[in-house]
């Protein structure tokens, strides 16, 4: 996939009209707080996913304005497409000038992977971050997954409300069976997608991580299921009493995890800072390989502030690995910019190109 242009007006501090991106490396450079990450964020939103930044959606519009817009032209599957997003009280996405029901309908049409320094949290933090990583990626290649996940999470929320009420009202359990059936049905489908996705990731991850660690380390992922080998429906019924006490549903894919091991040892518990960062980056690169396996082309690679965090060997490995696919790398350090001679340099100052 290649992005040909980006137009932005009142999207955060970004006002640009760029139509000469390189099909390979684009280096977005500039001083701190000029709008480099905002540019990557604008591109990322065309995937239909939520922003990689936390915060309220209304923050997308430039302070003091009430409307913002971003537009792009891109080539995918040899065909030129356009995508547009308008921000006002709500966000409206368009694909080839047709309004979509919601922005997530862009999933699968525009493919990108993003790496930010915060992604180390995938390895370091609790299971929620790893589940989110899986869900985001699965949703990009199987858009139908997003709806299944939404239905599942809704049913879990409803079960949680019922079991909380059960403490005071024993008749509240009437609807429990039906919600548990939905949780089990959708939950088994989600688990199946995730198991298969982890296998696909493993196929690609091993060589990437091994290369990044100069052949010294081996990585292996496995999908950890809270309900073990038992069918989800049985465990849900079994856990009812306990769940009424806590007010939460204790089993199901919303409690599962991704176990990451380096040379057989848990990366989360024992990995060094550099290992965790390398794992996070390798996971992203492997997810791009999976997308390529499914769609036949590489997604666009968005790397925010990664170069400053890696030693030169690792920087070079990454640059070699992504050569041949379109990438956007932000960077505020002159020395790194001058080493990345192959790319097109786009300088951003005060939200505009220089
Ligand atoms: N809604 C908004 N309206 C106007 N400006 C905003 C809005 N949201 C964020 N900004 C501003 O955009 C500026 C640029 O942010 P951005 O994160 O893109 O900087 P950056 O160039 O990536 O900097 P760094 O090198 O520090 O990462 C920040 O000063 C931020 O306050
Ligand atoms: Mg930034």
Give which of 219, 205, 209 is closest to 317, Cα–Cα: 209
Look over the chain and give the mean of its residue pLDDT values, rounded to a whole number: 92
Q: Is the CB of 38 under 6 A from ligand 1?
A: yes
Quote the ligand 1 centre to 222 CA distance (angstroms): 37
CATH fourth-level superfamily of 1-111+297-354: P-loop containing nucleotide triphosphate hydrolases (3.40.50.300)
Quote the ligand 1 centre to 294 CA distance (angstroms): 34
Quote the ligand 2 centre to 107 CA distance (angstroms): 25
Beta-carbon neighbour count of residue 148 at 10 Å? 18
Does 119-293 match 1-111+297-354 at the fold level?
no
Greater confidence, 94 or 215? 94
* DSSP result, 276-324: HHHHHHHHHHHHHHHHHHHHSSPPEEEE-S-GGGS-HHHHHHHHHHTTT
Spatial separation of the C-alpha atoms in residues 3 and 57, rounded to whole Å: 24
Residue 241's Cβ-side half-sphere holds a number of Cα atoms within 13 Å equal to: 1
Give which of 133, 160, 201, 111 is closest to 209, Cα–Cα: 201
DSSP E strand stretches across the chain = 2-11, 14-18, 25-29, 68-76, 79-87, 91-95, 98-99, 112-115, 219-224, 257-262, 265-266, 300-303, 327-331, 344-349, 352-353
Q: Which residues pair with 29 in a beta bridge?
A: 331, 347
The ranges assigned to domains in the chain are: 1-111+297-354, 119-293
Atom of ligand 1 nearest to the CA of 61: 1
Residue 341: pLDDT band with limits 50, 70, 90: low
pLDDT of residue 250: 96
Spatial separation of the C-alpha atoms in residues 141 and 130, rounded to whole Å: 17
Quote the ligand 2 centre to 180 CA distance (angstroms): 44
Q: Is the CB of 116 under 6 A from ligand 1?
A: no
Q: Is the CB of 37 under 6 A from ligand 1?
A: yes
CATH fourth-level superfamily of 119-293: RecF/RecN/SMC, N-terminal domain (1.20.1050.90)
SS3 content of the chain, % helix, strand, coil (to 5): 50, 25, 30
Q: Is the CB of 51 under 6 A from ligand 1?
A: no
Residue 86 has φ and ψ, to the nearest 5°, of -110, 135
**Using CA positions, which residue lies closest to atom 8 of ligand 1?**
12
> Is pLDDT above 80 for 76?
yes
Atom of ligand 1 nearest to the CA of 30: 21
262-307 pLDDT, tens digit each: 999 999 999 998 889 899 999 999 999 999 998 899 999 999 988 7
**Using CA positions, which residue lies closest to atom 5 of ligand 1?**
13
With residue 242 as reference, give the H or E element that holds it: helix 240-246
Q: Is the CB of 332 under 6 A from ligand 1?
A: yes
pTM, full prediction: 0.87
Quote the ligand 2 centre to 153 CA distance (angstroms): 32
């Amino acid at each position: 996939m290649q992005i040909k242009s980006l137009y932005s007006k009142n999207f955060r501090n970004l006002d640009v009209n760029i139509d000469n991106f390189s099909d390979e490396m684009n280096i977005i450079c500039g001083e701190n707080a000029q709008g480099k990450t905002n540019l990557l964020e604008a591109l990322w939103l065309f995937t239909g996913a939520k922003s990689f930044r936390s915060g309220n959606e209304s923050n997308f519009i430039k302070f003091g304005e009430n409307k913002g817009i971003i537009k792009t032209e891109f080539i995918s599957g040899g065909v030129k497409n356009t995508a547009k997003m308008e921000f006002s009280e709500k966000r409206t996405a368009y694909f080839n000038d047709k309004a979509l029901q919601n922005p997530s309908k862009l999933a699968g049409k525009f493919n990108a992977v993003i790496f930010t320094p915060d992604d180390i949290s995938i390895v370091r933090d609790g299971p929620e971050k790893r589940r989110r990583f899986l869900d985001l990626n699965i949703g990009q290649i199987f858009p139908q997954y997003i709806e299944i996940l939404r239905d599942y999470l809704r049913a879990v929320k409803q079960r949680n409300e019922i079991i909380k009420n059960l403490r005071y009202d024993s008749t509240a359990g009437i609807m429990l069976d039906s919600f548990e059936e939905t949780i089990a049905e959708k939950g088994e489908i989600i688990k199946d997608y995730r198991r298969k996705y982890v296998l696909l990731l493993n196929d690609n991850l091993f060589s990437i991580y091994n290369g990044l660690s100069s052949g010294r380390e081996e990585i292996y992922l496995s999908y950890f299921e809270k309900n073990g080998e038992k069918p989800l429906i049985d465990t849900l019924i079994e856990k009812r009493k306990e769940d009424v006490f806590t007010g939460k549903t204790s089993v199901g894919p919303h409690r599962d995890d991704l176990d990451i091991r380096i040379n057989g040892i848990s990366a989360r518990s024992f990995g060094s800072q550099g290992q965790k960062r390398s794992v996070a980056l390798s996971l992203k690169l492997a997810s791009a390989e999976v997308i390529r396996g499914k769609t036949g082309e590489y997604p666009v690679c968005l790397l925010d502030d990664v170069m400053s965090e890696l030693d030169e060997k690792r920087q070079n490995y990454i640059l070699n690995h992504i050569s041949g696919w379109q990438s956007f790398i932000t960077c505020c350090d002159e020395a790194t910019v001058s080493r990345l001679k192959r790319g097109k340099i786009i300088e951003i100052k005060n939200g505009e190109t220089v």
